[in-house]
Amino acid sequence: MWVIFLAAPKTQVECDYDGPAMKTQVPGPRSQELTKQLGEIQNVGAVNFFCNYNESRGNYLVDVDGNRMLDLYTQISSIPLGYNHPALIKLMAHPDNLSTIVNRPALGILPPGNFPEKLMESLLSVAPSGMTRVQTMACGSCSNENAYKAMFIWYRERGHNTPSAEDLSSCMVNQGPGCPDLSILSFMGGFHGRTLGCLATTHSKAIHKVDVPSLDWPIAPFPKLKYPLEEFARENAQEEARCLEEAEDQIVKWRHKGKPVAGIVIEPIQAEGGDNHASPEFFKSLRNIARKHGCAFHVDEVQTGGGCTGKFWAHEHWGMDDPGDIVSFSKKLLTGGFYHKNELQPYRIFNTWMGDPSKNLFLTEVLNVIRTENLLEEVTRSGKALLNGLYELQVRVFASRGQGTFCAIDVCDDATRTSIILKARNKGVVLGGCGDRSIRFRPALVFKEYHVHLFLNIFNDVLAQHK
């Protein structure tokens, strides 16, 4: 209907700059002015600086003061191909896509004609093993909230498929038996979102949870492993065994309390909680515990999914045919949502938008680029270089760990971390923290070995200056 001619961007050949370039301290004067302006409208306690997304490109984030920084944080791990990837810009030239962006449908009742095809091309083409069904959602929290509901409904429907009259009347006033006392088992240090249901399973920082009512649901310890994993194999195995035993105990205990565990939710690597890893054996055993006790197994890949670990899903590193009953996603996938097994028919999972098909369009293109540019291999290669480089810094940092470019280190305390992150930023590198005293690395999938070395040089200087 409409035709758009897209003039080639001046720098289309180069989709990346050749290095950081700093003009001011960050935040610079313009950022500070804008922070003051925005402070009149909303809380700006978490604002780092203001960005010029028009000028940002590839691995480089440009701010409103003209500073150009190598970005190893990528909007909390949510920019898959770096900034302004030409393939995504080009996509907007197709007239069908224009109308998809302008007219947001209520996907659950009136999907666009190309919706099944677009789901096949995008989300279904990277479906986790054993999962053929997917439901999109607007964000990560909504994805997990609705995944929990799918697990509750599944758990109840095994017993009786049709709710009784008493179920229907009692649920209207939030009471049982209609609203059952079911629970979700989560792990200390886990992060699954900050809406009320998700928050009851989030245990990464007190400041996320304090003052908000919660649900009496079981919490198991997540293994606290020593790194490098290979060097502490025996101790780590013991720690994992302890945590598995405790998880199983919790399931039994909550069943006796009359609040049976309908599902277990876990991240393949606890991200917000401090980049805590566990072995494939741990996850295999936990999956078996879920099966044994009739609980659904929900793998939350909101932060780990999308290729940053060198595989599209972090759970692929477990090498299992049947890794879970539900896998949720968001961030780098651009749309939120969850995959699920056939048995967990999410009947009654519904809201107005149910996602946003314009995000599916972009995801299709992201997946094409990942394939044609072999980005998973690139991530594996860059990740190795990054981790090796971090090992070499071990004199000043601790517990270097990672999978692909999804890496982290610990420093001695929170104050040191803040100081390092701010110093790095003023030298043109954007980093983020996680856990109590970790720095996490979350570059885009287009972060090459060249960028790794650029980063390591600057980071080495920061650490040297910092002593």
Which 136-175 residues touch its own copies, going by CB under 8 A?
138-142, 145-146, 148-149, 152-153, 156-157, 163, 167-169, 171-175
Q: Is 352 a catalytic residue?
A: yes
Q: Phi first, then psi: what are they for 297, rounded to 5°?
A: -120, 115
State the number of binding residues for its own copies (CB under 8 A): 132
Of the two residues 194 and 292, which places its CB atom closer to its own copies in the complex? 194
Beta carbon of residue 370, minimum distance to its own copies (angstroms, whole number): 17
Residue 395 binds to its own copies (criterion: CB under 8 A): no
Of the two residues 169 and 457, which places its CB atom closer to its own copies in the complex? 169
Whole-number Cα distances in Å, 294 to 154, 287, 416? 11, 11, 45
Span interacting with its own copies, options 202-210, 221-229, 242-250, 442-450, rule CB under 8 A? 202-210
Give CA–CA dist 4/321, Å, rounded.
Answer: 45
Q: Which of 13, 41, 395, 464 binds its own copies (CB under 8 A)?
A: 41
CB-CB contact of 360 with 111 (8 Å):
no
Of the two residues 78 and 309, which places its CB atom closer to its own copies in the complex? 78
The token duo for 336 is 């939120």
| Binding positions for its own copies, 281-310, rule CB under 8 A | none
In the DSSP assignment, the letter for residue 135 is E
DSSP string covering 126-175? GPPTT--EEEEESSHHHHHHHHHHHHHHHHHHTT-SS--HHHHHHHTTT-
Catalytic residue among 181, 249, 350, 352: 352
The token duo for 260 is 């049976």
| Element holding 69 (H helix, E strand) | strand 68-71
Residue 22 binds to its own copies (criterion: CB under 8 A): no
Span interacting with its own copies, options 118-126, 246-254, 312-320, 370-378, rule CB under 8 A? 118-126
> Which residues are CB-contacts of 245 (< 8 A; sequence separation ≥ 6)?
none
Strands (E), 182-324: 183-187, 219-220, 261-266, 296-300
Residue 99 binds to its own copies (criterion: CB under 8 A): yes
Beta carbon of residue 363, minimum distance to its own copies (angstroms, whole number): 12
Span interacting with its own copies, options 105-113, 291-299, 367-375, 398-406, rule CB under 8 A? 105-113
Question: Measured on CA atoms in the order 95, 98, 102, 104, is the torsion positive or negative?
Answer: positive
Residue 228 binds to its own copies (criterion: CB under 8 A): no
Beta carbon of residue 288, minimum distance to its own copies (angstroms, whole number): 25
Tell me the catalytic residues.
Answer: 191, 300, 331, 352
